[in-house]
Chain A
Amino acid sequence: MENLGLLADGLAAALTPVNLLYAAVGVLLGTFVGVLPGIGPAMAIALLLPVTFGLEPTQAFIMFAGLYYGGMYGGSTTSILLNTPGESASVMTALEGNLMARAGRGAQALATAAIGSFVAGTIGTLLVAMFAPALADVAVEIGAPSYFALMVLALVMTTTVLGASPLRGFLSLFVGLTIGLVGLDLNTGQPRLTFGVTQLTDRLDIVVVAVGIFALGEALWVAAHLRRKPARVVPVGQPWLGRDDWRRSWKPWLRGTAYGFPFGALPAGGAELPTFLSYVTERRLARRTRRGAKGREAALRTDEFGKGAIEGVAGPEAANNASAAGMLVPMLALGLPVTATASVMLSALQGYGIQPGPQLMTDHADMVWTLLASLLVGNLLLLVLNLPLAPLWAKLLRIPRPQLYAGIIFFACLGAYATNLDPFDIGLLLLFGLLGLAMRRFGLPVLPLILGVILGPLMETKLREALTISGGDPAILWSEPLAIAIYAVLLLVLASRPLLSRWRARAEAQTVDGTDDDTDGRADGDGERAAAGTEGDQR
């Protein structure tokens, strides 16, 4: 209950007219940027970070909250209306959402996505307010060895569990850790990897790295393979839900939330797995309900899955937003980013001189509570603003591609230049843009790199802290029960990885088959499974 009181204080701070204005501007800007094809939430926040430079930390946070949920919602609009998900978390929404849009039910798809996001985001944020402080209380007691172990866990999990190729994950991770090395060594003040360039001694600005890899890298990659024929946008009217749609949507919203939140809070969780699980669950349940009503024979294809089922949009969208809220638990309580978006937000914190870590909730409590309250406010504003504005957002999808990507490059350079007003930073941006291009070309995942840049220096600090206490004896690294437990979990996960990937391949084969028109939902033969596998590879 004490938490609710603090949240109320946060709400009071967030609800001044000026702050509401910042939240609204954040939601609109976030949705605007998120709707643009090719831009996910992480990139939206990275691109818009410079806008918050001139603000007070509290106001900047309020704007972030708006940007965050706005960017997420914008992404799902794109995937429903274009059927080309910009990121892995929207794949499941695109599946049924675009079918709905083509069947003339785009308005309902957008509405269930918006309301589902609101429900999941609100429940998720309240859960964060419950759990994060309790976890932070424990986290303050965590010693350097355990914190080090936690970071190792986060890095190894994101590198090996996500993505198709652990080799490419590790490559990306080590490149990120190398980027994190650049600058003065914190203890001895000696320059490392600076090539004698003075601008590099102050460490690389994470904004420049993130914008370079996310925004400029994406623009260059698209430039190298620009689709000459723009994708077809399905026209859409005012979003609304009929009584039947409400009845079919509310349970998937809640189930999606239940999947999304815990996965979001885990390292290497993210939104990919819960959205997928939610989709599979809704499909199975839809089949079972029909089966009960009309008997086994009719059960084969009477549900709407594969033709645009509203449950298939409501569930994954809620899961997506709930995991976005869940991600805040490790970020706020432990200072540990587990997704690219969290990394970018944490780096923004560093820009205000706030060190991420377990102290965050105790040292900057008022700010954290304002952020949580702003998330609630931003979520509500999102619903209020975006339901009426949806047809307008849909128009954005028709911006000619040369001007669209020219605009992205323009704002990326502006952001890099505005950090220090030094053209050198635009040069760095270009360098990281080319790195981002190469990563997309060579299939290197972006998340391990970004986490490496952020967590690398933090890991080094904790490692040196621990070993200074022990006088150089490495045994201190596994001297705490928590550290031992974390390493045990790590070994367990690594050992079960082959099992996990087999299970996922099987489940995915089912999904892909289910969306084909002629096959029943089960993948029986190995041939089918292999075919589904290759389809997944091309995604």
Chain B
Amino acid sequence: MSTQVEPPVAGPQSTPRVDRAQYGLAAVLLVVGAYTVYDAMTLEVGFADPVGPRVFPVVIGTGLVVTAVWLAVATARGSRPEPEAGEDVDLTSPTDRTTVLKLVAVVLLTIATVSWLGWALAGALLFAGAAWALGSRTLIRDVLVGLVLAVGSWYGFVVGLGIPLTPGVLDGIL
């Protein structure tokens, strides 16, 4: 999934360039649509069910394929997306892929460790790691804040809401 964003067009005289990443998006959606249709074809059609389990996925998959092709054609004709603005979003800056990859890595680490470490520790790591990835350099404070958040939410869920989050290695201590 490419996430490159060109800076917004500076003025009316700059020629609109083709946003190549949109071809990538169109290709991915084309594959998803085609797979949806293929997957539907493997289903058995039951009795006394005139529509059956196939019709809906086939229609949706076909729709996805058609719109994907439409997107590719529109891209070639110079259609450009309008990236979403926001309070903390600076669209004039180039895409910071490193930060996004760091965040993804931090979340993957949480997935790998949460069952073993338990939420109280994995959550603290998640918070501190995400803050670090986003550019915070106050690591010790972040770990402390993360611990407070994670341990607090563990107690809140387990005691307050009765949802048994895993204690992990801290079993018996918490």
Contact = CB atoms under 8 A, between A and B. Distances in A.
> Are A and B a genuine interacting pair, yes or no?
yes
Contacts of B104: 220, 430, 434
Interface stretch (A97-105, A131-139, A402-410, A500-508): A402-410
B161 A539 contact: no
A423 B166 CA distance: 11
Contacts of B84: 221, 440, 443
Contacts of A418: 157, 163, 165
Interface in A49-76: 50-51, 53-55
Interface in B55-71: 55-57, 60-61, 63-64, 67-68, 70-71
Interface in B16-73: 21-22, 25, 29, 32-33, 35-36, 39-40, 43-46, 48-53, 55-57, 60-61, 63-64, 67-68, 70-71
Given A54-B162, A223-B134, A414-B119, A187 B49 contact: yes
Given A403-B142, A410-B123, A417-B114, A185 B43 contact: yes
Contacts of B169: none
Which interface residue of B21, B56, B115, B119 has the most chain A CB atoms within 10 A? B56
Given A430-B104, A443-B84, A460-B56, A406 B127 contact: yes
Interface in A331-381: none
B12 to A, nearest CB: 8
Interface residues of B, number: 91
A223 B95 CA distance: 9
A427 B166 CA distance: 17
Contact of B111 (A165, A220, A426, A471): A426
B89 interface: yes
B43 A190 contact: yes
B172 interface: no
B114 to A, nearest CB: 5
Contact of A54 (B45, B142, B163): B163
Contacts of B48: 468
A430 B25 contact: no
B22 A51 contact: no
A86 B88 CA distance: 9
Given A181-B36, A402-B134, A423-B115, A413 B60 contact: no
Q: Tell me the dominant secondary structure on chain B's binding face.
A: helix
Nearest to B60: A177
B134 A192 contact: no
Nearest to B161: A54
B104 to A, nearest CB: 7
Interface string B80-106: 011111111111010111011001101
A226 B135 contact: yes
Nearest to B107: A430
Given A406-B136, A438-B25, A413 B110 contact: yes
Contacts of B151: none
Query: Interface size class for chain A?
Result: 35 or more
B15 to A, nearest CB: 16
B170 interface: no
B50 A472 contact: yes
A201 interface: no
B161 to A, nearest CB: 3
A231 B88 contact: yes
Contacts of B36: 178, 181, 193
Interface stretch (A166-174, A254-262, A296-304, A386-394): A166-174
B1 interface: yes
A55 B86 contact: no
Given A54-B162, A225-B89, A167 B71 contact: yes
Nearest to B106: A409
Interface in A188-236: 188, 190, 192-193, 216, 218-228, 230-231
Nearest to A473: B50
Given A222-B88, A224-B97, A430-B111, A171 B67 contact: yes
A398 interface: no
Contacts of A167: 67, 70-71, 74, 79
A175 interface: yes
A489 interface: no
A320 interface: no
A227 B88 contact: yes
8 contacts: A177-B60, A178-B33, A187-B52, A216-B107, A443-B83, A463-B51, A538-B82, A539-B85
Interface of A: 37-38, 50-51, 53-55, 78, 82, 84-86, 164-165, 167-168, 170-171, 174-175, 177-178, 181, 185, 187-188, 190, 192-193, 216, 218-228, 230-231, 400-403, 405-407, 409-410, 413-414, 417-418, 421, 423, 426-427, 429-430, 433-434, 437-438, 440-444, 456, 459-460, 463-464, 467-468, 470-472, 537-539
3 A-B pairs closest in CB distance: A54-B161, A472-B50, A443-B81
Given A50-B163, A409-B106, A410-B123, 19 more contacts: A53-B161, A170-B63, A174-B63, A181-B57, A187-B49, A188-B45, A190-B44, A190-B53, A193-B35, A221-B86, A405-B130, A406-B126, A406-B146, A410-B130, A410-B146, A437-B100, A440-B84, A464-B50, A471-B50
